[in-house]
Amino acid sequence: MNYTEFVNAVKEKLTQELNGGVRVNVYTTKKNNATERTGLILETPGVNISPTIYLEEFFELYEKGKQMDWIIEDLVELYEEIRQEKSWDYERMLSFEGVKDRIIFRLINTEKNKELLLDVPHKKFLDLSLVFAVLVEADNDGTAVMLIKDLHMRQWKVTKEQLWNVAKENTKRLLPAECFGMNFAVYELLSRSTPGEHDRENLLRRTWHIHEELELPEKDKMYVLSNKLKNYGAACIAYPYILDMLSGVLKENFYVLPSSVHEVIIVPESSQIRQSELERMVREINETQVPEEEILSNHAYFYYAQEGKLQLGKEMCIDREENE
């Protein structure tokens, strides 16, 4: 059974399991980096927000011998976790006033998305691009967004700068940045941290409590920067003041490694790892561990704290004031 046959088989069995109360349809969509994914969209009657479940990882489990009945059971459980109980008021999409408090930005690779960028407003950020979206829903189970296209700008009668001005405020408010030492990030990935530990280990918290005596623990060699949902969190490097705040905590320059569109790795300059070695690491990870749609860049960037500049090599740089 190939993947297409698997998707259709799952569709039929899932429809039966849900007793017809949910419409299950095969759905193919273009994703980041000009990739395509096929999965199932589950439509609940009376609710206009429908989750899409992509089945690649379930297909891998099936190929490894997992029974189809167990896979269907897992999918029903997943659907119950991510289903939406209420509809989004899509009339809000008709006007800028209706959505301006939900407009955010995401960071993507320019070259890999050159066709997409022909039709969407975007802002250059080194060799990357910031694109805009309406954040419809966001929680720990995922996000629902609508990518803003040129046709939306024309309909709303707004400029790219207007989008940027609201997005840079909304994104940091709706998806606040967090930064943790690599050791704690792995520890938390195993779901063993408490809310108190989470707040205490967030390096950016130290800049919010400037009147408290918060000592930086023994330095990690690497740190993970993302947003609270860890979804397209690499965009945090474009948040106003974030890199400046980090340099204030670390008290030095640092490299920024784009591990995926969801997060970046911060490497203090004092680690004394050569940039060529860091770039080799990024390329190898992209080639072996990161899905194509989640790749951000193969470059290592450098933040020069004294100048407040994020730079790509020695030739291209972007001033932090440009994004404030």
Determine which helix (DSSP H) or strand (DSSP E) holds 43, and give its type and residue range. Answer: strand 36-43
Q: Is the pLDDT of residue 48 over 90?
A: no
Token readout for 13 is 């069995």
- Sort strands 103-109 and 52-54 into parallel, antiparallel or unpaired: unpaired
Average pLDDT along the chain: 88
Q: Is the pLDDT of residue 218 over 70?
A: no
pLDDT given for residue 92 in this prediction: 87
3-state secondary structure at position 255: strand
Token readout for 197 is 């530990």
Kindly report, residue by residue over 268-289, the tens digit of the pLDDT: 999 888 888 999 999 999 999 9
Q: How many residues does the chain have?
A: 324
3-state secondary structure at position 56: helix
String of DSSP letters for 140-198? TTEEEEEE--HHHHHHHT--HHHHHHHHHHHHHHHS-EEEEEHHHHHHHHTT---HHHH
pLDDT given for residue 142 in this prediction: 73
Mean pLDDT for the stretch of residues 162-182: 94
Instruction: From residue 303, give the alpha-carbon distance in Å to each of 17, 90, 247, 310.
Output: 53, 41, 8, 4
Q: Is the pLDDT of residue 54 over 70?
A: yes
Bigger pLDDT: 134 vs 323 = 134
Q: For residue 180, with 0-12 CB atoms within 10 Å meaning exposed, 13-18 middle and 19 or more buried, which class applies? A: buried
Contact 113, 33 (CB under 8 A): yes
Q: Which residues pair with 319 in a beta bridge?
A: 309
Residue 243 is given by DSSP the state: H
Token readout for 200 is 């205490």
Token readout for 159 is 């400029």
Residue 283, amino acid: R
Kindly report, residue by residue over 223-233, the tens digit of the pLDDT: 999 999 999 99
- Sorting pLDDT into bands at 50, 70 and 90, what band is 199? low
The model's pTM is: 0.85
Contact 39, 54 (CB under 8 A): yes
Q: In the chain, what's the furthest Cα-to-Cα distance?
A: 63
Q: What angle do CA 312, 314, 315 make, to 5 degrees?
A: 80
Q: What order of strands is seen across the sheet that includes strand 263-268? A: 177-181, 223-227, 263-268, 254-260, 301-304, 309-312, 316-319
| Integer Cα distance of 55 and 317 in angstroms | 40
Instruction: From residue 55, give the alpha-carbon distance in Å to each of 6, 18, 71, 147.
Output: 9, 17, 10, 23
Kindly report, residue by residue over 98-114, the tens digit of the pLDDT: 999 999 999 999 999 99
Contact 153, 163 (CB under 8 A): yes
Mean pLDDT for the stretch of residues 74-87: 87
Q: Is the pLDDT of residue 62 over 80?
A: yes
- Angle separating helix axes 3-17 and 56-63, nearest 10 degrees: 100
Contact 223, 177 (CB under 8 A): no
Bigger pLDDT: 21 vs 147 = 147
| Integer Cα distance of 253 and 308 in angstroms | 10
| Integer Cα distance of 302 and 253 in angstroms | 8
Bigger pLDDT: 215 vs 54 = 54
